[in-house]
Amino acid sequence: MKSIRLNKSIRDSIVHNVLQAWDEANPAPKVVDAPSKNKLLDALYQEWRKENQIDTLLSCGMDTSYVNEEMYVYLSVVDKDSGTGIHYDYLTFLDSKGHKQKRIFKKNGVLQCDTSHPVYIEWKKQKDAYTKDSEVLNKHKQKRCDYAADVRAVLDSVNTTKQLLEAWPEIGEYIPSTFRDPSTMQLPAILPKLPTESEE
């Protein structure tokens, strides 16, 4: 088999092919969606709205011109046992499209709950699941990076396809076919030389 010198383009193609096969054999783990603090804010706000019978008052014709509206709110979560604050965030009410939105709320108010609140418990459960999945995914990505570095190290230790196949025979199927056997390479067509006046 003829041998050719490995340039950067060929090395990159080999790494790409090897990693593509690695990805097929080692699918990336799935990660659940990260629960945002706005999701917690919305759930607590709906409870506040229900407790204060806002919808009932509105349906009874409450004059909204005297009702305070807020776009920004503090979200406070305290530890049930110690009373220590574990979250205190300045958030914005958002609509379903993610746009800022004013809502009926107490002036410069704070939405607060403790860690025993069912809404917070469910949100924390989702957050912990996301954190756990993210850690697994990060380990997977690191493993892939380490494998790619190992492949690069082998490629950088040789200069030709012949040397590469001698050092790592299994790599053969990942070398682009035209470089495995240079005799199969399609060379560009050469235009015929046009005759000059002296040749006519």
pLDDT in tens, 148-191: 999 999 999 999 999 999 999 999 999 988 776 655 544 334 44
pLDDT score recorded for residue 185: 45
| 12 and 57 part of one domain | no
Cβ count near 16 (within 10 Å): 13
Across the chain, mean pLDDT equals 87
pLDDT score recorded for residue 61: 84
* 88 found inside a domain: yes
| Residue-number span of the structural domain to which 24 is assigned | 8-31+128-182
Both tokens assigned to 136: 């697994």
Please say which residue of 86, 116, 146 terminates a domain: 116
pLDDT score recorded for residue 62: 79
Q: Regarding predicted confidence, which is higher, 128 or 196? A: 128
pLDDT score recorded for residue 24: 94
For 81-103, the pLDDT digits (tens) are 998 999 889 999 999 999 999 99
Strands, E assignment, 3-138 = 69-70, 72-78, 85-92, 103-104, 110-114
**pTM score, whole prediction:** 0.72
Q: Which letter, b or e, does each residue of 130-161 get, where b requires 16 or more Cβ atoms within 10 Å of its Cβ?
A: eeebeeeeeeeeeeeeeeeeebeeebeebeeb
| 27 and 56 part of one domain | no
* 21 found inside a domain: yes
| 19 and 53 part of one domain | no
| 45 and 105 part of one domain | yes
* 189 found inside a domain: no
| 20 and 65 part of one domain | no
| 105 and 52 part of one domain | yes
| Mean pLDDT, rounded, for 141-151 | 95
* 151 found inside a domain: yes
pLDDT score recorded for residue 87: 85
For 40-51, the pLDDT digits (tens) are 999 999 999 999
- Nearest-angstrom CA–CA distance, 128 and 122: 10
* 86 found inside a domain: yes
How many structural domains is the chain composed of?
Answer: 2
* 2 found inside a domain: no
| 139 and 82 part of one domain | no
* 106 found inside a domain: yes
* 196 found inside a domain: no
